[in-house]
Structure 1
Amino acid sequence: MSRLTRAGVVAVAAVTALLLTGCGDADGGAAQVPGVGEGGSSDTPEPEPEPDDDAANDGVDRPRIELPEGISAVYEGWESEDPTEQRVLSDARAAQNAVDLAIVEHEPQADYVGFYHAAEALVDTEEWIAGFVRNDLTITGTIRYVDPEVTPSGDDQALVAYCADESGAVASDVGTGEEQPDSASPYVAYRNTLQRDDRGVWVTVLVHTERGQCTR
């Protein structure tokens, strides 16, 4: 599997990368962000079912995001007994699924991407997905998202840190199925800033990643 920072996808002609790596602010800080609320093998573990939590029952009409056959996401430890923290985790999880689905469907400006992203994160995410479209690439396999940690910042903002294990997934050519070669680490540390908008959705507004920083 080949990997590259998101900034690199914009700069080079060929995308040889998998997911949202190397983007966002340098320190992952939770600064107030404008624009939120305006206007989303047998050895492979089975994906966890969507959690039955308050985020899915808060009256917000969220898009249903289902990854197609060939690509799956496994979330480990994304449950919390704290209702607010669970809402944050659920929307962060949905935002990640939205990105993965949009890459597979080649839909950078899909409504479900805009539903869960705003401000800088939305611009970066749409451009990142567009890189896959321009280079006729998709992703297959299983990606594991583990060890999430929520750090609140006031009532309407939170930092969500977690690790992605991409070792079970590959980037490949849509037409030929040829896998892209890679020697980079499959582990990525995420530090995403989420902000609760006027709908009550915890929207991802900043994404910061560091490849090789998780050893899961």
Structure 2
Amino acid sequence: MRGFGAASFRHFGPLGPRRPLRCEASRSSSSSSSTNVQPGVGNAVLKAALTTGALTLAGDLLAQSFTQRHGTRLPGQSKGFDGVRAARMGGFGFAFYGPYQHFWYKYLDKLFPTKSVPHFASKVFLNQAALGPVVLSAVLLWNYALTKQMEKLPEKVKRDFVPTLMNGWKFWVPASMVNFYLVPLPYRVLYMSTCGLFWTGYLSYTSN
């Protein structure tokens, strides 16, 4: 009887011994795990946005360097680099293209989780049939809206949309095959954005 004092009865309830420490620990661990989910997702989206934004900016500078070197400036276009245009393209990569790719590749990986031929072919096909037109439409809309030339957008789409999309398929089908077969999901935005350094330069050239 010597070891039973008031402190000992704190661990007994009306129906027997209580185990508050385990319950509280499990509650705290579950709550901490639930709170840790969102920051992880947010960090991944921000990383995709920053990566794609930086590479899209570099792609535009590459396109501007090409036009400067080969004398393909449009009438009225100033000499030297256009910082506003470069920032506009970088903003497109940061605000739209990077986050969109992040969720798109996660969705494709969830929809087609294996490396079987049907799943692999479906990813490659959808990447070109769904992602390509959306990105091309978005970059044209982004540039024409921010330069206040929306009245020129229909003619631009009519003239250049299909040829640009078809050129994109020639470039992106091989890149997508490597992406979906060899590159792990966390690195797909980085890989595709790196491949897209030259493609976004081309998009910047055609859309500007």
Report TM bin, short chain. Answer: under 0.3
TM-score normalized by structure 1?
0.26
Q: Which has the higher strand share?
A: 1
**If you compute each CA radius of gyration, which structure gives the higher value, 1 or 2?**
2
